[in-house]
Each structure stands twice: as C-alpha cells, then as structure tokens.
Chain A
Amino acid sequence: MHPFTLTRTGDAEEAIEAHARDDRLAYIAGGTDLLGLMKDRVTFPERLLDINGLPGTASIEELGDGGLRIGALCRMSDVAADPRVRERFPVITEALLLSASGQLRNMASIGGNIMQRTRCAYFRDDDGPPCNKRQPGSGCSALHGSNRNHAIFGWSEDCVATHPSDVAVAFAALDADVIVRGRGGERVIPFTGFHRLPDSMPERDTMLERGDLIVAVEVPARAEGRASHYLKVRDRQSYEFALVSVAAAVAADRGRLRSVRLAMGGVAHKPWRLTAAETALRGAALDDDGALRSAIATSFADARPLARNAFKIELAQRAVLRAIQTAGERP
C-alpha cells in the first residue's frame, strides 16, 4: 500500500470537521473494503481517520414501535445474530449471512457495508483499464467488455456497474432510513435515495457530501417484516457476490397478497425496487404462479441487457417468484 498517516478519534464533530476540510482523508471502520481498494490502487487517501472509537454507534436500539436503529459501527455478524433482527426482519439476517465470510462479517461495519464500492473487475483492476468510476472521463471498459455480472437497469454509457451489498437490498425493500450527521447537523436519507444511478458521474456512489458520517440505519416496523426472505443467486454456493438477488417481504391474507415489498441486487448501480410489480402483485394468490409471473414481469419492461447478461432478465424474474413464495410461507 502507498504511505499514509493514521489517527484515531472519539469525537464525531471532530471527525466530520476533519473529513469536510480535507479531501485526501478517509474514514476507516472495519477497513475490509477500503484496504482492498488501497491495495488494488483504486484509491489513495493520504490520511485515514479511525472512527471505531466513536461513542453510541455500535449498538442496536429499539425505535419504540418495533422498529430498530442499527448503529453504523455494528458489525455484520452481530446484527445477523441479534434475536430481534432474526425475529422481526429475517430478510436482514439472511442477507447478512449470505454475504462475505465469517471472518469478514466479524470485521465489516454496517455503515461500511452500504458504502462498499462495486466489484466490477475493471474498476478493481490495478493495471488501470479505462473506468469512469476510478478515473472520471477515461471511459467504461465493461460497456462493450466482460459485462456478464453487470447492470440490466438504470445504467448509463458511462458506467454499467452494480452495487455489491446484500443487506442494502434488504434495507431498500423495507424502506429503511440512513441517519447521517454532517456539518449542518443530522439528517435522514431514505434508503432508496441513498445510492445514486451512475448517469454522467459514476465516481459518485451515494448522496453523501464531504464530512458526512453515517451514524445509523433505522428500520421501521413493517407489516411485511416477519414474512420476509433474501434469495441470492451466484456462481458459487457460498462466499461470492450475487448474479442477482431478491429481498422480498409480504403481507398475505388467506393465501392472497395484501402488500409486497421487493428489491433486487446485482441488477443496477443501486438496490433496485420493483415498484410496478409491488402494485401489480396486490391481490394475487401466492400459489398462482402464472398470475405472480405476469405481475412480476411489469417491472422488467424497462430492463436493458448488455451483450453478456441478458440471462439475468429471466433469472431475476424466477428469483423474485421464488422469493415471494418463500416469504409468503413464513408465519
């Protein structure tokens, strides 16, 4: 790795001020993505600020109505094993347990997880092929290159990368909120508006500004929370990123869907909500595969495959069907 300095802070205001003032400074928490990016020469921060000592951000608190506030410094493994998360939001536990490995889940923080950068091989390639996300203006090698793992929704000519986080897909489906503290105080960013589409600025993954510090993710109580499921389809059975993944949460009456929440991973630059399908699925019977398939298809009318990933369109719809039915079988 290139040389850099490292300091620690236990004071959020100090951290925010330092980050806002200094664009060569990066926060470090678990470090599992940041250090990999530095080793792969994707990013070269000159100063790292260790934020693991910030108080009050490493626990899960009750929101009062059954919702949970997950501190940004909570480790993935602690959140996955928390009895309240397992009971109320199985989709969160499943998404976390299908991510990374046991060692990495002990290290990686929730705030860092949702800030992960894409696994696009061109972005991570330390030989430095054209990549607008790493070097704005250099071009996108994946657009006409090896793009089997890339987006089918919302991409631009400048970037076709997907977002790698699993739990972000679950948070998006549940309409969680990201609680951010910045120079202007604390604010709430709805999860579905936290990550950006690439448009002409793929170097920007999220809506965060310099100085911003994620302090928590709040998951409100949801009628669909308990009957929820995360389905991840990938080339290996374990320890691999998704080809496509689905977070499904449903509320059903006597086998008919009253409401559905659906988000997908592996298909876009951000967790992708299937809003058209959510509407079309209302009232459908959970065992009526044909009706469910037709309703799901409404969210795929605007899918735009690349040269090597058209298979994702069918794969994704089948995955959504199975995820809904599995979620619907939960008591």
Chain B
Amino acid sequence: MAGNLPRMPVTITVNGRARAMTVEPRTTLLEALREGLGLTGTKKGCDRGECGACTVHVDGRRVLSCMTLAAMQEGRQVTTIEGLEQDGQLHPLQEAFIERDGFQCGYCTSGQIMSGVAVIEEAKAGWPSAATADAGAPFTMTDLSDAEIRERMSGNLCRCACYPNIVDAVADAAGRR
C-alpha cells in the first residue's frame, strides 16, 4: 500500500495566512511547515518529542510540531518563529535573546523562543509548575523565579548549554527585571 495512499486536503492558518495544502496522513506538522510551506525556521532535532527544537504555537499554545500530524490541524491557528515579529519589529523575547546572548549555534533557538513566549503567557494565566512551592496557591508574575523559568523551559534542550543566558532572556521579556 506504500506510495498509493490518498493525500488529504488540510487548511491551516499559519502566521495569520490561511494555507491550503494536501498532505500524506503521516506528514507531521513540522514536515508540512518546513517542506510544504518552506518555513524552515522551525527545526527538526530529535523528531521524538524530546528536544523541543520544533516548538510552535497551535491556537496560542506551545506544542511539539514533530509529534502531531498536519492533517489533524484543520482550521487551527499556527504561529512559527517567522510569525513572531510585527511590522519589522522583533518580539521582545527575540530582542532579549540577542541582548543576553541566549544562543551559540542557534539550532535550538527558534524552539527556545517559541517555548519562552508561551511560558510567559502561561505564567500570566496563573499556571503553576513543578517548581511552584504551593501549586494550590494563586501564581503571579512575581513568583516567576529563575528556578521557575528553568523548570518551565526544561522541554527545550540546548547542546551549547546557553541555559543561564536563556533564563535571563526569558526573565527580561517577562518584565521581571
């Protein structure tokens, strides 16, 4: 049956633009973004959901694009690293990564930034983390310590080990300092 599978139509709004594609059922969202739409800012690292390099936002939430199928994203809003800037202005977390030297080789960086943007939104929404002393108590932005950022960013690996600078960049963009 290989090679003869019907391709499936799917329409996904990517960075604000509706994109109609036909994909094989087994095509991951990551592959559709990179190979189908040429949005190569999103990286393939492990392709197993272990490294976070492929992190994008689906309907405003950070997810791993390697571990979800493109054909399951019908009608969803996807944001990739290419969609973060507004009218030529970098997102504050992109600025902070430059300011804080939050990368060396840069391979994990788009995933780090997409994850970090969502970490700040999750914290603003009051979500606790495993680093939160009392998960039952309300969580506020003043609770977003370095330990909190490290825990919340633990799904994004950096083989260059830029972790201290990444934590600083996220803390800057969160307005913590």
Judged by a CB distance under 8 angstroms, whether B47 is at the interface is yes
What's the Cα separation between A32 and B28 when bound, in Å?
A: 12
Give the interface SS of chain A, mostly helix, strand, loop or mixed.
Answer: mixed
Among B24, B49, B61, B125, contact of A3 (Cβ-Cβ < 8 Å): B24
What's the Cα separation between A6 and B127 when bound, in Å?
A: 34
Judged by a CB distance under 8 angstroms, whether B154 is at the interface is yes
Among B8, B63, B132, B150, contact of A103 (Cβ-Cβ < 8 Å): B63
For B128, the chain A residues whose CB sits under 8 A away are 80-81, 86, 93, 97
Interface residues in B, total, Cβ within 8 A? 44
CB nearest to B132 among chain A residues: A97
Judged by a CB distance under 8 angstroms, whether B115 is at the interface is yes
Among A4, A30, A81, contact of B125 (Cβ-Cβ < 8 Å): A81
CB nearest to B136 among chain A residues: A86
Query: A102–B152 contact, CB under 8 A?
Result: yes
Q: Separation in Å of the B19 CB from the closest CB of chain A? A: 19
What's the Cα separation between A79 and B8 when bound, in Å?
A: 32
Q: Which of B67-75, B83-91, B94-102 contacts A (4 or more CB under 8 A)?
A: B67-75
Query: A102–B155 contact, CB under 8 A?
Result: yes
Query: B26–A1 contact, CB under 8 A?
Result: yes
Query: Contact mask B19-58 → A, CB, 8 Å, 1/0?
Result: 0000011101000000000000000000111001001000
Query: A2–B26 contact, CB under 8 A?
Result: yes
Interface residues in A, total, Cβ within 8 A? 38
* Cβ < 8 Å to A, chain B residues 138-152: 150-152
Judged by a CB distance under 8 angstroms, whether B164 is at the interface is no
Give the interface SS of chain B, mostly helix, strand, loop or mixed.
Answer: loop
Query: A239–B26 contact, CB under 8 A?
Result: no
Judged by a CB distance under 8 angstroms, whether B6 is at the interface is yes
* Cβ < 8 Å to B, chain A residues 28-57: 28, 30-32, 35-36, 39-40, 46, 48, 50, 52
CB-CB under 8 A for A103 and B69, given A4-B26, A81-B126? no
CB-CB under 8 A for A35 and B52, given A3-B24, A6-B72? no
Query: A238–B154 contact, CB under 8 A?
Result: yes
CB-CB under 8 A for A101 and B5, given A32-B67, A35-B68? no
For B71, the chain A residues whose CB sits under 8 A away are 6
CB-CB under 8 A for A39 and B47, given A52-B72, A102-B122? yes
CB-CB under 8 A for A239 and B154, given A4-B25, A90-B136? yes
Judged by a CB distance under 8 angstroms, whether A100 is at the interface is yes
Query: B67–A35 contact, CB under 8 A?
Result: yes
For A87, the chain B residues whose CB sits under 8 A away are 136
* Cβ < 8 Å to A, chain B residues 1-24: 1-3, 5-6, 8, 24
Binding site for A on B (CB under 8 A): 1-3, 5-6, 8, 24-26, 28, 47-49, 52, 55, 61-64, 67-69, 71-72, 115, 118-119, 122, 125-130, 132, 135-136, 150-156
| 8 residue pairs A–B, Cβ–Cβ below 8 Å | A2-B2, A3-B25, A36-B48, A77-B61, A90-B136, A97-B129, A97-B132, A107-B63
